[in-house]
Amino acid sequence: MSKDLKKDIKEEYEMERKSKDTIDGDLATLNLGPTHPATHGIFENVLTIDGEKILDSVQTVGYIHRAFEKIAERRPYNQITTLTDRLNYCSSPINNIGWCMTMEKLIGCKVPKRVDYMRVIIMELARINDHLICNSVIGVDTGALTGFTYLFQQREAIYELFEEVCGARLTTNMCRIGGFERDFNETFHTKLEAFLTNFPKIFTEFDNLLSRNRIFMDRTIGTGAISAERALNYSFSGPNLRAAGVDYDVRVMNPYCSYEDFDFIVPVGSNGDTYDRFQVRQEEIRQSLSIIRQALDKMPEGKHYADVPEFYLPPKQDVYENMEALIYHFKIVMGETPVPVGEIYSSVEGGNGELGFYLISDGGRAPYRLQFRRPCFIYYQAYPEMIKGQTISDAVLTLSSMNVIAGELDA
């Protein structure tokens, strides 16, 4: 082609492009949700985009608002455990045990050491459960579907362990005020040993797929970053805050349930981006496995419940023979046990951060006011700030790395 012809074509192209710019000069609005394959849960984000770059976003939540706090004002104290199941349903035993510990603090009950160690094992299994979902879903959102299938099969092993203890897989209703409803049996120990032997190998395989994978690292390093000061200002907690560089873990700061007996490290990231969140959760899974091993090795003998007959159901044989046991059984089941008056705030380290229970009791059969401090609700506010200036695919990845669980978001 001659030089003049090339110049003509180039000029024509530039003119056409300029005219397109003036016609399509406005910004576009893209609706990410509420039903979207990549948002795991129902949240709506209306993005204002310039090409692929996100300038602003408006969030709508509340699509699964089930009025937990209003229901809690009606239910007797032992029935609220079933409500707490459905907050962060990926790690429901942690919510259950947190609620039971709040009640035990209110009534002034001290549980035996064996119960503490059993609770630690169950809570760490639930934490592994939650982090496995989050990490495999980060893999899925970058396009790596294999990790998802590997890890979900391992989660079935954890579900079987929960079934041995309480009979349910997901919404476990695990704990009772005062301890557990039954002790761990032989099958549980066998399955737990098998899990602790088999799982680390599969987990290492998953880690090898993603952790040092060039594509994964390119996609996740730098996306959805938040600095430690902004994260603290937004009241972040849990793995998201630890990835930003602040080592706040409720298990270390306000130890509950004999966590001070165990030796574990709290992984902390540096940039607060998606890669750091992924790695923090990976390391927390390894630390949880170590805690479970320590708890199993050091498990003390004893009863699996504390001596609080007003709250803990007596054995059924006693109910048939003993008058007192019959009365206690009746009162607990009908929910007529009196509870001391007071207000208490108690928190545990949930899968996503500090899960708190603010309870005001007026001595009646149901709480006067129960408020759940839900970590997801609080840190999801920072999402527009985290995705500003990034592309749409980064926004999707940031959302899945923050592990926003819809049940905890909307309560």
Partner 1 sequence: MGKVTLDAKVETIDGQGFQLTRLDKVIGAARANSLWPLPFATSCCGIEFMATMGSNYDLARFGMERMSFSPRQADLLIVAGTISKKLAPVLKKVYEQMSEPRWVLSVGACASSGGIFDTYSVLQGIDRVIPVDVYVPGCPPRPEQILDGIMNIHKLVSNESLRRRNAPEYKEMLSTFNIEAND
Partner 2 sequence: MTKTELTNDSFYNSLQEQFTSSIISKEEPFGLVTIEVDSKKILNIIKWVKENTSINYLTLIGGVHYPESEGREFALVYHLHSLTENFRIRLKAFLPKEDLKIDSITSIFSGADWLERETYDFYGIKFIGHPNLKRILNEDSMDYFPMRREYQLEDATREDKDDTYFGR
What does the binding site for partner 1 look like in residue numbers (CB under 8 A)? 34-37, 40-42, 62-67, 70-71, 82, 85-86, 89-90, 133, 148-149, 152-153, 155-156, 159, 169-171, 406-407
Choose from partner 1, partner 2, none: what does 213 bind? Cβ within 5-8 Å by kind. Answer: none
DSSP assigned state of 184: -
34: partner contacted, choices partner 2, partner 1, none (Cβ within 5-8 A by kind): partner 1
Query: Is residue 281 part of the contact set for partner 2 (CB under 8 A)?
Result: no
- Closest among 99, 103, 77, 106 to 342, alpha carbons compared: 106
Sign of torsion over alpha carbons 220, 44, 135, 272: positive
The helix/strand/coil state of 110 is coil
Spatial separation of the C-alpha atoms in residues 357 and 101, rounded to whole Å: 10
Does residue 246 belong to the site contacting partner 2 (CB under 8 A)? yes
Q: Cis before residue 34, ω within 30 degrees of 0?
A: yes
89 binds, among partner 2, partner 1, none (CB under 5 to 8 A by kind): partner 1
Q: In Å, what is the CA distance from 25 to each residue of 12, 15, 46?
A: 19, 15, 19
85 or 116, CB closer to partner 1?
A: 85
Instruction: Kindly tell me the burial class for residue 263, based on how many C-beta atoms sit within 10 Å of its own C-beta (0-12, 13-18, 19 or more).
Output: exposed
Q: What backbone phi and psi angles, to 5 degrees, belong to 176?
A: -120, 160
Place of tokens 């040092």: 212
Residue pointed to by tokens 């709290």: 266
Rule CB under 8 A: which of 74-113 touch partner 2? 74, 105-106
Q: Which is nearer to partner 2, 16 or 343 (CB)?
A: 343
The option from partner 1, partner 2, none interacting with 356 (CB < 5 to 8 A, set by class) reads: partner 2
* Residue 168 binds partner 2 (CB under 8 A): no
Among residues 253, 265, 327, 333, the one that binds partner 2 under rule CB under 8 A: 253
DSSP letter, residue 369:
E
Q: How far is the CB of 405 from partner 1 (least distance, A)?
A: 9
Q: Which of 19, 204, 254, 270 binds partner 2 (CB under 8 A)?
A: 254
Q: Kindly report the number of other CB atoms within 10 A of residue 152's CB atom.
A: 12
- Report residue 279: phi and psi, to 5°: -70, -35
Nearer to partner 2, 30 or 71 (CB): 71
Which of partner 1, partner 2, none has residue 148 at its interface (CB below 5 to 8 Å by kind)? partner 1
Chosen from partner 2, partner 1, none, partner binding at 171 (C-beta under 5 to 8 Å by type): partner 1
The DSSP string of 185-252 is: -HHHHHHHHHHHHHHHHHHHHHHHHHTT-HHHHHHHTTTT---HHHHHHTT--THHHHHHT----HHH
CB of 302 to partner 1, least distance (A): 33
Measured from the CB atom, the residue of 97 and 355 that comes closer to partner 2 is 355
Give the list of residues 6+ apart from residue 135 with CB closer than 8 angstroms, or none: 147, 151, 206, 210, 278, 281, 282, 285
Q: Single out the residue of 12, 29, 62, 190 in contact with partner 2 (rule: CB under 8 A).
A: 62
- Residue closer to partner 1 by CB (options 38, 319) is 38
Closer to partner 2 by CB, 6 or 66: give it.
Answer: 66
| 8 Å CB contact between 397 and 219 | yes
The distance of closest approach from Cβ of residue 304 to partner 2 in the complex, given in angstroms and rounded to an integer, is: 26
Within 333-392, the residues that bind partner 2 by CB under 8 A are 342-345, 347, 354, 356, 358, 360, 368-369, 371, 373, 377-378, 380-382
